[in-house]
Amino acid sequence: MLRLNSYRELEHLREQLRQQRQVYKTTVMICGGTGCQASRSSSVIEAIRSELSKQGLTDSVRLCVTGCHGFCEQGPVMIIEPGNIFYCQVTPEDVFEIVFHTFVKGKVVERLLYKDMVSGKSYQMETEIPFYRAQDRQILSQNLNVDPCSVEDYIISGGYSALTKVLSGVSPEEIIKEIKSSGLRGRGGGGFPTGNKWSECREAPSAEKYVICNADEGDPGAYMDRCVLEGNPHLILEGMMIGAWAVGASKGYIYVRNEYPLAVKHSRIAVKQARELGLLGENILGSALSFDVEIARGGGAFVCGESTALMASVEGKVGEPRPKDVHTVVDGLYHKPTTLNNVETWANVPAIMLKGSSWFASKGTQGSKGTKILALTGRIKNTGLVEVAMGTPIRTVVFDIGGGAVDGKAIKAVQTGGPSGGCLPVDKFDLAIDFDILAEAGSMVGSGGMVVMDEGSCMVDVAKYFLTFLQDESCGKCVPCRLGIDRMLEIITDITEGRGRPEQIDLLEELADTISQTALCGLGKTAPNPVISTLRYFRSEYEAHINNKKCPAGVCKSLITYSIDPEKCTGCGICLRVCSRKAITGEKKEPHVIDTELCQKCGVCISECKFDAIKVA
Amino acid sequence: MLQYVKVSIDGAIIRTPKGTSILDTAIEYGICIPHLCHVPNLSDIGACRLCVVEHIVNGRSNITTSCTLNAAEGMVVRTDTEKVRKLRRNLAELLVAQAPNSRAIQDIAVRCGVKDVRYPFRNENCVLCGRCVRACTELWKARAKGFVGRGKDRHVDYPFGTRPDFCKQCGACIQLCPMTITPCNGPMKPGEEHLCGNCESQLMISENAPGGCTWCKLGENFACGRYA
């Protein structure tokens, strides 16, 4: 493809490509994101491709392998335009039917439509589905009609027009003013106002500056950055170009963890395409901006998501944070002023520049503007990526979009913001998703992970899980994080194994306070949050573990015993056969008993018992 | 030309070269801030966090380590508030529970007011202060040892676990190691670790007298004003 030398050439190319696309009558958009690939979407894609060529439809049907659509629970998903027909859980065996009925005859295959589990109603169109209806998808919707490996797709859908607008007459100061008035705040976790960061970086005196995109997402259960980067890498590049122009940087890095192979691959392809088109390099589109981007792969350390550790890692050093008494916007990568933003923050930039700050600021609350992508996971019906306007109550996300708990259990809490966030109980579900409101409640929006827990989750065990994660991922440089978390885990392990003492709760609180005030980096400072928030809202569970030596949720193995309800037991003998410890005895047709000495509490008998006769207390 | 700035440490207005760390400034002036990983003439990494102080910016107090905080004009720092003492005590408690078999760390614990250790003792041999690593790397440019591993597995080791030729066995690392001097009553056996507290008699009234000095063993290495 030819190098573009001016804005007019880009517009011309866009028009040309649009005309070329008009020959296609039908477009099928199938998700090729990591989530759907795990549900075998690649074999579905292959099957469609071969079926289309077999039926001779390659000239009229366009197959577009896109990034994540969001509804990962129902994967692989596809959308067929025109008609906005939504098929879910498609298998290679269904492909013939889809091609023959939908593409050739224009009929809908009822069997593959999304069916609501509660009402039993089928939905034909994607936009009608309750999961999508309650969302406000500004960034994720751009994933739908763009093949991440095709810069043409991005240009056709209006890509790089924000860049041309900016380069053809918006001064860097005006960009920063626009970003400031939009109220955009960092989506990576801290919620720092992006405009302020940019203006500080612009004002820092240095000839050389850097911009970095932080795609080192490592929170358990969170994957929105991955989906945006692997689904629409050119959007990130465009955002970074605008940022580079605003702060005066000439070099950018995308720091992406190597565990995201698709994101690494797609961003590499995107950078290569952009270089070929002259969208990266010297004098981009004939303007004064010279900018290039490199992909830096991370080894997958959680701590490398912290700004100074990330920069050390890009420099090729050990990924460890350093004291931040001088901010990275002044002294960052290679000791030069550096603007580091999260993937989602960069993704918001082009739309703000194109549609204006007032459009962005019209969504959201007083302190938090725009939309936020949340990764909804856990004991919930519709898991997946959800994008809602800031200020949406947690209840709407969990119940209206998420569809409530699985197996008819009651929802107990939601963990927001990953290991740095906290657990909020169900009576706090009316709180809005807003940086300040959630921080006040002891949790945080964070990167946007949302793990829903039902009554079968023990909150002490949840705190233990996060502490184990943090202990593994702590870099070990400073004392409070390395030794403090270790001691907290020691205490919590004592509590879950029945050795807890009442004064240990106070010690936990004091230790948590010490760590949060003295740790070296942001991750260490927020590391005690899972313990602080569970102590705040679920103190009674801690007390039950310590005083009564009981785990109310029946999770902590040392504090529970299994028994068989003689009323319900029919003596079928299934549990007797599956128990590997031979702890269950009894005659046929007579109620069985469990020898608690031998019982390992593995739970196999519970899952096998058809009569719900095994009790945990 | 050295540029001088004025900073306020615990209310004392001190004139110091611009860019000197608050810890160095305070020690020079005779205000003792307990510290472990800081060694004069080596870079500061802020690992032990013992030298935390309150840095007051626009009326809001930030807790930060004084070894990494560089003096700037008009800076206001408090080193001996209730909050700082409590944080310091908790940090010293974590350290002494980890490595009770060091006179230096026992001294620090006493100096920071640790009366009781609420965690089980561990009797480890290293607290990862990184003095040896930095001395080897920065002073002698030998780079014969470094940190290996992450988090709980972090430890100091030679490259690939064997002593390289470029280690000249100069012993600088041993000189600076806070673990080489055992408590006065000899090494503690596993299971018998306790808070030594022998030096407590040297403190005036440890809690009420800020800056009470135990003539701690570390002071010798720090060029502490009292040893001069």
For the segment B28-44, what is each residue's pLDDT rounded down to a tens digit?
A: 887 888 888 888 888 99
Distance from CA of A285 to the nearest CA of B (A): 44
Percent of chain A with pLDDT over 70: 100
Interchain CB contacts (distance < 8 Å): A and B: 88
Higher per-residue confidence, B190 vs B202: B190
Q: Of A68, A63, A65, which Cα lies nearest the Cα of A33?
A: A68
* Strand pairing class (A251-257; A292-298): parallel
Mean pLDDT of A404-428: 89
- Sequence-ordered strand ranges (E) for A191-268: 210-215, 251-257
Quickly count helices (H) and strands (E) in chain A.
27, 19
**Per-residue pLDDT at B207:** 44
Overall fold of domain A21-135 = Glutaredoxin (3.40.30)
Q: Which CATH class is domain A561-616?
A: alpha beta
CB contact under 8 A, B94 and A483: yes
The angle that helices A459-473 and A485-496 make with each other, rounded to 10 degrees, is 150
Tokens of A580: 């590997």
For residue B222, pLDDT beyond 50 = no
CB contact under 8 A, A476 and B151: yes
Tokens of B52: 């935390």
Domains of chain B by start residue, with CATH: 4-80 (3.10.20.740), 131-176 (3.30.70.20)
Q: Identify the helix (H) or strand (E) that includes residue A344.
A: helix A343-355
Selected for mutation to probe chain A from B118, B129, B156 (highest A CB count within 10 Å) is B118
For residue B219, pLDDT beyond 60 = no
Residues of A in contact with B95 (CB under 8 A): 479, 483
CB contact under 8 A, B97 and A487: yes
The owner of tokens 């040309």 is A16
**How far is the CA of A260 from the CAs of A216, A228, A446, A578, B29, in angstroms?**
9, 12, 20, 39, 53
The owner of tokens 């519709």 is A382
CB A458 within 8 A of CB A385: no
Residues of A in contact with B147 (CB under 8 A): 318, 476
Mean pLDDT of B205-214: 45
**Per-residue pLDDT at A1:** 66
pLDDT tier for residue B200 given thresholds of 50, 70 and 90? low
pLDDT tier for residue B21 given thresholds of 50, 70 and 90? very high
Distance from CA of A501 to the nearest CA of B (A): 12
Q: Which CATH class is domain A371-454?
A: alpha beta
Q: Identify the helix (H) or strand (E) that includes residue A452.
A: strand A449-454
For residue A480, pLDDT beyond 70 = yes
Domain ranges of chain A: 21-135, 151-361, 371-454, 459-548, 561-616
Selected for mutation to probe chain B from A483, A487, A507, A516 (highest B CB count within 10 Å) is A483
For residue B220, pLDDT beyond 60 = no
**Per-residue pLDDT at B198:** 66
pLDDT tier for residue A540 given thresholds of 50, 70 and 90? very high
Mean pLDDT of A51-67: 89
For residue B216, pLDDT beyond 80 = no
For the segment A345-383, what is each residue's pLDDT rounded down to a tens digit?
A: 999 999 999 999 999 999 999 989 999 999 999 999 889
Please, which residues bridge with residue B62 across strands?
Answer: B55
CB contact under 8 A, B47 and A478: yes
Mean pLDDT of A511-521: 94
Higher per-residue confidence, A189 vs B83: B83
CB contact under 8 A, A476 and B152: yes
pLDDT tier for residue A481 given thresholds of 50, 70 and 90? very high
* Strand pairing class (A26-31; A61-66): parallel
Residues of B in contact with A507 (CB under 8 A): 118
In B, minimum Cα distance to A517 occurs at B63
For the segment A79-116, what is each residue's pLDDT rounded down to a tens digit?
A: 998 888 899 999 999 999 888 888 888 888 888 899 88
Mean pLDDT of A322-328: 86
Please, which residues bridge with residue A297 across strands?
Answer: A256
Q: Which of A19-23, A26-30, B189-193 has the lowest mean pLDDT?
A: B189-193
Distance from CA of B152 to the nearest CA of A (A): 7
CB contact under 8 A, A486 and B152: yes
Residues of B in contact with A514 (CB under 8 A): 86-87, 90-91
Q: Identify the helix (H) or strand (E) that includes residue A437.
A: helix A435-440
CB contact under 8 A, B49 and A517: no
Name the interface residues of A facing B (CB cutoff 8 Å): 301, 303, 318, 322-323, 325, 471-480, 482-484, 486-487, 490, 507, 510-511, 514, 517-520
For residue B73, pLDDT beyond 70 = yes
Mean pLDDT of B44-72: 92
For residue A64, pLDDT beyond 50 = yes
Selected for mutation to probe chain B from A330, A517, A523 (highest B CB count within 10 Å) is A517
**Per-residue pLDDT at A613:** 87
Instruction: Count the neighbouring beta carbons within 10 Å of the beta carbon of residue B43.
Output: 12
**Per-residue pLDDT at B202:** 53
CB contact under 8 A, B91 and A487: no
Higher per-residue confidence, A616 vs B98: B98
pLDDT tier for residue B105 given thresholds of 50, 70 and 90? confident
**Does domain A459-548 fall into CATH 1.20.1440.230?**
yes
Please, which residues bridge with residue A341 across strands?
Answer: A213
**Per-residue pLDDT at A212:** 96
Name the interface residues of B facing A (CB cutoff 8 Å): 44-50, 52, 63-65, 68-70, 86-87, 90-91, 94-95, 97-98, 118-120, 127-128, 147, 149-154
CB A563 within 8 A of CB A608: no
Mean pLDDT of A428-437: 92
**Per-residue pLDDT at B209:** 40
* Strand pairing class (A122-123; A114-115): antiparallel
**Per-residue pLDDT at B119:** 93
Cα–Cα distance for residue pair A239/A343, rounded to 1 Å? 9
For the segment A211-264, what is each residue's pLDDT rounded down to a tens digit?
A: 999 999 888 888 999 999 999 999 999 999 999 999 999 999 999 999 999 999
**Which of B52, B69, B150 comes nearest A301 by C-beta?**
B150
**Per-residue pLDDT at B223:** 45
CB contact under 8 A, A475 and B150: yes
Cα–Cα distance for residue pair B175/A430, rounded to 1 Å? 60
Instruction: Count the neighbouring beta carbons within 10 Å of the beta carbon of residue A478.
Output: 28
CB contact under 8 A, A325 and B70: yes
In B, minimum Cα distance to A471 occurs at B151
For residue B210, pLDDT beyond 70 = no
Mean pLDDT of A573-596: 87
Overall fold of domain A151-361 = Rossmann fold (3.40.50)
CB contact under 8 A, B150 and A486: no
Mean pLDDT of B124-144: 91
**Which of A318, A479, A517 comes nearest B47 by C-beta?**
A479
Residues of B in contact with A484 (CB under 8 A): 94
**Per-residue pLDDT at A429:** 92
Selected for mutation to probe chain A from B94, B117, B121 (highest A CB count within 10 Å) is B94
